[in-house]
Structure 1
Amino acid sequence: MRTRKLAGNYVLIQSAAAFYQEAWQVSFADIAPRFVRHSRYPGYQGLVKLDEKSHMVGLVYGYTSRPGQYYHDLLRPALQENGKSDWLDDCFELVELVVAPSVRGSGIGTALLNQLLTAAPNKTAVLTTRENNIRAIQFYERNGWELLKDSFYPNEKAYRIYGKKLI
């Protein structure tokens, strides 16, 4: 298996968006434009893992969280409630981590996550995951993420906010 960087590779970013749609069985028309838009954000880092046949089996990306960005502006008031808004002061926002269902549990997600976060120059990282996504919650906690807030509602579904100190 090999890892490729997404930054600056429009074709690979488009392929990553298609991989995301297939892995999650979603057909949102805005996925590819969102992936491309995010790739232009400051501090953007993105990686994909390809198998021996060059099929994508893993994807991870994020960027520096800044005021004015949609999710940053949702997270700040939620974290202020817990006195933890300082987590966003110099923060890498982990946006997506997806591993193909056929290879989950093989270490691909951990390897991609560690490689991505090692390259992030920020002091902290944050992410959100659905409150009922037990596998993801266990994965992040096993990888050293701490719960910053539960029962976060950016829409009608409950999420958890996790953070990790990088420096």
Structure 2
Amino acid sequence: MEQLTEVTISAIDLAAWAPFALDVQAEAFGLTPDEVAVRLHIVGRHAQQPGVIALGAFGGGRLVGFGYGMPNSREHWWSTVIQPYLEAGGHEGWLDDVFAVTELHVLPAYQGRGLGSALIRGLCERSGLPRSILSAIDAETPARRLYRALGYQDLARAVRFPNTFRPYAVMGAQLPLAPSRHGHSQAANSR
């Protein structure tokens, strides 16, 4: 079994770190090389958005996790897809004055150590906004359990994004996020 090293979290330049971040996402999320190429282009566009915040988790001299997000805009593609689902549930107001967590991934060997929690907390704390919104695969996964533990609640379920076969859930939380019940936020040093 691999000996896991101490992990530190710090701000990163999303454009510069995008290829390394996509390597983490590919391993954590099971992306194909073609999907990585498409997402690399998308991350490059996101890196240019006003207010984007990106954090990296570093362990053993490499990137082992990352997250980024930005203030939501109704003009963003993601918002245009989720808007009808939020409207149907009476949650359209969640598209405004909210920080959208765009991506959050941790290498499998480093999962379960509080890195996801530390990354999302760091992003939300830096956002300066009163709420956060995100989408996650609509299944009982460790990610969904983490989001619920942090105070996220389902705003819409069975959301279908173009070119994906799995349904997603859109979740929202008031900031600051709920306190950690298990001390996981202490698992990584944050700078």
TM-score with structure 2 setting the length: 0.80
Contact between 2:24 and 2:106, CA under 8 Å: does it hold in 1?
no
Contact between 2:53 and 2:70, CA under 8 Å: does it hold in 1?
yes
State the identity %. 24
Partners of 2:108 and 2:27 in 1: CA distance:
10
Partners of 1:141 and 1:123 in 2: CA distance:
17
- Alignment-derived partner of residue 81 in structure 2: 74
- Alignment-derived partner of residue 4 in structure 1: 10
- What runs of 5+ residues in structure 1 fail to find an aligned partner? none
Q: What is the CA distance between 1:36 and its match in structure 2?
A: 1.3
Partners of 1:46 and 1:133 in 2: CA distance:
26
Contact between 2:74 and 2:96, CA under 8 Å: does it hold in 1?
no
**One-letter amino acid matched to 2:169:** R
Among 79, 84, 88, the residue aligned to 2:91: 84
Alignment of 1:104-123 (within 5 A): 104-123=111-130
1:46 partnered with 2:54 = yes
Q: What is the CA distance between 1:45 and its match in structure 2?
A: 0.6
Partners of 1:47 and 1:73 in 2: CA distance:
26
Contact between 1:6 and 1:13, CA under 8 Å: does it hold in 2?
no
Residues matched between the structures, number: 165
DSSP 3-state at the match of 1:60: strand
RMSD: 1.6
Moved more, 126-135 or 138-147: 126-135
Partners of 1:85 and 1:33 in 2: CA distance:
28
DSSP 3-state at the match of 1:30: helix
- Alignment-derived partner of residue 184 in structure 2: none
- Alignment-derived partner of residue 31 in structure 1: 39
DSSP 3-state at the match of 1:126: strand
Deviation string for 1:79-125 (max 9, x for gaps)? 01111111111111111110110011111111111111000122221
- Structure with larger RCO (C-alpha < 8 A, sep 6+): 2
Deviation string for 1:113-139 (max 9, x for gaps)? 111100012222111111125222111
Q: What is the CA distance between 1:6 and its match in structure 2?
A: 2.3
Partners of 2:97 and 2:122 in 1: CA distance:
19
TM-score with structure 1 setting the length: 0.91
- Alignment-derived partner of residue 166 in structure 1: 175
Partners of 1:22 and 1:138 in 2: CA distance:
20
- Alignment-derived partner of residue 149 in structure 1: 156
Q: What is the CA distance between 1:32 and its match in structure 2?
A: 1.4
Contact between 1:88 and 1:124, CA under 8 Å: does it hold in 2?
no
- Alignment-derived partner of residue 17 in structure 1: 22
